[in-house]
Each structure stands twice: as structure tokens, then as C-alpha cells.
Structure 1
Amino acid sequence: MRPRFFAENLDEDIRVMLLAQIRNLWTHASTAIEGNTLTLGDTAFVLEEGLTIAGKPLRDHQEIYGHAKGIEVIYRLLKVDRLREADIFALHRVVLTDAIIDIYKPVGAWKTDAHFTTGR
């Protein structure tokens, strides 16, 4: 049995607003950790209005869009009974907005090159 989505029983208007706020907060916090310079207000503006912030790097805007698209994929996946490999790859593709095409490091597919880790 699939767990219930926490917002399933809310009125549609309230659910849409709540999920947008969660998306904005989650996107801002996650990208800020990685050095994104957009504020929470900037993040909300970019996602809700589809405009850019003057003087801010394009890369910061792309990260915001990629992360927010990833959250939308996660919201959709909350409604499925079984997670598939294709779902994981779809999430990977939308999050990596700045991906360089490289056959050894495919976006939305399994890595094909060796990955070495060391520890002490």
C-alpha cells in the first residue's frame, strides 16, 4: 500500500500554494548551500514570474530552475506505487541543467567510467 501524500486532503488552492512555498524554500536552501547567490525572494520571483534578476549569474538562475523541476518530478513520483529506474534518470536529467555532453558521464543514465574512492 502506498503511503498517503501529506497534502492530498487539502483544498486544491491551498495545496498548490503550500507546495509552491515548499518548492521555493527547498530550492533556495539547497542551492544556497552550493553557493547560489539568489535570495529566497529572488528564488520565488524567478520561479513564479519566469524572469531573471539583474546582475545575478545565469548559472544561478539555471540551478534554481533545475532544482525546482526536480522537486516537481518528486511531487509526481509521490503518487506512484513503484519507483522505476527511468524515474530516477528523469530526475537526474531535469536537475542537471548545466550538463556538458560527455559519453562517459551521461545525464539521465548510469555512469560508464570507473569511479575510485579512497579512505583512511
Structure 2
Amino acid sequence: MSRTPRPWPRFALALQSGELTTPDLLEQMRTTVGFDRYGLGLEKRRTLCGVVWGHPGSLPGYTTHTYTDSAGTRTLSILVSTTFGIDEREAAAAYDELLRGAVCAMFDEPVPNS
């Protein structure tokens, strides 16, 4: 098991580009249910700069997300330490702003005003 996030983007790119599975299986993973956000192991995130696919993870002390574009050519990983004593809504808003900026940078787009 890796102690750094370095392998996460490699795995995400290989999965989303079709290197690790067949197109049919990847399509099944991207078929979302419920709130049109979750597929088989993948989360679909719509942002103002584009759609990304990935999966979150967390352990006490930090949370992580790795997202890849639909073509499987660009990826990003976010590792955030848990902040105790901050209102959950404030933390969620700050994370959403961080994610928006990271996705826009990934797509070489300017960050739109929130």
C-alpha cells in the first residue's frame, strides 16, 4: 500500500482511458443511479468547467478525491487534512471551491465566480 497519493492519478487515468477494462465494463461503471451521481465505484461530478469521474476516500485525519476527465487524459488528486473545529458547512464550501479551481485548472479553463 502506498503512503503517498502518487499512484492514484496513474490508476485513475488507466481506468478511465480503458487500459484496465473493456469499454462495456467502463460504460457500466459510468451508468449512474440515484441522484445521477454514482455508478459502480465511480462518482460523476458536474462542474462549471466540465464533467469528471472519480472516487472519494477518507480515514481519520484526511479525505481524498481523485477525478479524471471523461476521455481519461487528465486527472487530479486532492488530499485534504481533516479540520476540527470548523463548521461542516464552511468546510464543505471551502472544499467545493478547491475542487472547482482544481477541475478548471485541469481543463485549462479560468475559474468562474462562485
TM-score, length-scaled by structure 1: 0.32
Max radius of gyration: which structure?
Answer: 1
TM-score, length-scaled by structure 2: 0.33
Larger RCO, structure (CA 8 Å, separation 6 or more): 2
More strand by share: 2
